[in-house]
Every structure is written in structure tokens, then in C-alpha cells.
Amino acid sequence: MIKNFFLRIYSLSEFKTLEIQFYLCAMYFGGLDFSINLFSEKKYFQFYLDLYILKINLDITRRCHHHGASFNLSIFNVNFDFNLYDIRHWDDELNDYKKIQSN
């Protein structure tokens, strides 16, 4: 169950989009978890912390579909998500964005 309190999607440019969402999600407890990843094939940076009632995720991706930055915060499953992403899809074979077809 998801109860949206606020959801806005803003087009910042031809390919960039900002999405802000504030919502309540059904309770679940994933357990204790922590990770940091730097400079992988698909990510510049990722920080993830799960302390049952508090979850924090900061993710900056590259060379993947809808790459960009996201920040997610959850306290007692009240969630705030901030996503800045590219609307294009990545083509691994070309090592570039797929061409957007115009009608």
C-alpha cells in the first residue's frame, strides 16, 4: 500500500527531469544493512543505510537507463524521494544514448 501525499514531476530541459515525492508506504523491516560503492561500471557513488526505522539511500548513476542522482529518506516508512534523472536509455553496445525517434 502506498499513500501519496505529494508527487511532482518537472521537466528541466529536453532530457532532464526532476521528480519529488512524499508518501507513506506499508511497513516492512528489511533488517540492518549498510553499503558504500564508488566508481563502479554503472554508479559514480552509492550510500545505503537501513536501520529498521530509518533508511537513507543516496545514489548517483551513469551509463544506464535514466541515469542521474537520487536521494531517498524513510523514517517509520514515511518516505521522501528526490530524483534528478535523464529520460534517455543507455545503449551498452554503442556506449552512448539510444537515439530518440521523432514522430
Q: Is 98 inside a domain boundary?
A: no
Cite the beta strand spans of 1-103 per DSSP E. 2-11, 16-25, 32-38, 43-51, 54-61, 68-75, 78-86, 90-91, 96-97
pLDDT grade, residue 82 (50/70/90)?
A: very high
Instruction: Give mean pLDDT, residues 44-68.
Output: 88
102 belongs to a structural domain: no
- At 25, is the pLDDT very low, low, confident or very high (cuts 50, 70, 90)? confident
Task: State how far the Cα of 40 lies from the Cα of 18, in Å rounded to an integer.
Answer: 24
* Residue 31: domain span: 2-90
Average pLDDT in the 52-68 region? 87
Whether 43 maps to a domain, the answer reads yes
pLDDT band at 11 (very low <50, low <70, confident <90, very high): very high
50: in domain: yes
Q: Is residue 101 part of a domain?
A: no
Per residue in 31-44, pLDDT (tens digit) is 788 888 888 777 78
Of the pLDDT bands very low, low, confident and very high (cuts 50, 70, 90), residue 29 is low
Domain assignment of residue 96, yes or no: no
Question: Does residue 33 belong to any structural domain of this protein?
Answer: yes
52 inside domain: yes
What is the rounded average pLDDT of the residues 5-27?
92
The number of domains in the chain is 1
